[in-house]
Chains A and B, each alone.
Chain A
Amino acid sequence: MHNLKPMTALGADTPQIDQFDGLEISERPDFALASLSIRLGRDVQCAEQAKAYLGFDLPEPGQGHLSDPFSCFWMGPVQWMISAPHDSHEDLAVALKQAVGDAGSISEQTDGWCRFDLSGPGLTAVLERLCNVDLASLASGDARRVRLEHLGCFVWCLKPAEAVAVLGPRSSAASLHHALVGAAKSAL
């Protein structure tokens, strides 16, 4: 039996939290992620089965849905990212696969991404230095894929103009965190 020790994307035992005057950046390792792609010609069936499992319609382009336990955002044509608390839904990908069957393809994404939640009144000033997302246009749940610190990241609106989640590639978590902290120090 291997003696494995869980660690966060930044390599620590506990999630990193950085406080600034007007912004908090908190690492969030407590979410499971899985992506859903509809297979060719199975749009109606897959959408219905996903809705039966998630409890809401798959979001329209650019949009998302925030709820408990499942949240979701649109990634691209016929593709969505689904998120749920890690403690209760560690097997999210398996459960989704059972829900949609052969109408959709599911990929485990939990360990592919790291997530940092940014919240506070200084959010706009920090985010506008990092990427070209139009924060004012984002409604609750909306998500945009952006280039941030040369990384393809998602900016996911948790609370309009006040809180977003930034999802970036986990292997570049330290670079992403460095960019977020650097922008916060510069702007605030």
Chain B
Amino acid sequence: MTDLTLRGRSLDKGAVSRWLQDYGVFAAVAALLVFNILFTDNFLSAANFRTQLVQAAPICIVALGMALVIGTEGVDLSVGSVMALSAALVPLYLGYGVVPAILAALVAGLAVGLLNGVLVAYIGIQPIVATLALLVGGRGLALVIAHGQLVDIRDPDMLTLGSGEILGIPIMVVVAAVLSLLIWLLVGRTTFGRRLVAIGDNRTASTLAGLPVRRVLVGVYVICGVLAAAAGVLATARLGAGDPANTGLLMELSAITAVVVGGTPLSGGKVRILGTIFGALLMQLLRATLIKNDLPDSTAQMVQAAVIILAVYVARERGTR
């Protein structure tokens, strides 16, 4: 008797957490939208939606790369510092034009990703540890490059990137959408994507199947680094200034949260792109909701902390199933 009821309960619990993990993020975003439309003043306006999407765009782009890394059972703590590097490099190279400036930032992201990837895949250092070094040093390097200064950006093209629109849609949102689509195709349709997920799900079996495990891992960290750099460029353009001290601060946490909330387990083997995008939206909406309802930033941070723990806990339930 007791056994049966216990069994029933644990089954229910499993089902609930599975549902939460698979669809929780969509439900939560929907619930927040409904709540805001009903109770928050001035929420239901095109301008506001545009603002929300623009603010979610950098998180979303970083989270896409993070999702790939987490899909291989890794993590990349250096993304915030990579964004800071972008913030330092863009103003520095803007004199040569917008394209060289952006390229410089992306190359820096690529280099950081390459270093992370080699440390993880070839030297065999745990991902947390390997990426920690660049979390520590990356922002310092960015500040050294910028001499600790906030540098204003006056280049009109660069500023357009942050505030311009295409067909009424902010450029930043368009960029985020295009990158999301590309990453979605990469995961679902390409050799690389298939191998990535297989390696995250069962690395031994993948090795025995002759997959180039190390090369795929390096590729994943490189993509993550480049995406983080791109997010840094956009954030800089949006701000209208290169601010290496604050750009991307704690971004690793927001990105990991967006990914985990979106249903990608930390144990790897699964990458949910749509979930990740909604995870990023959720984190942004949550913050906006709290702030728009006159709850201070401090509360927003504490709520975010609670959401993270909850998301990891739910994912853990799933993992041990």
* A and B form one complex: no
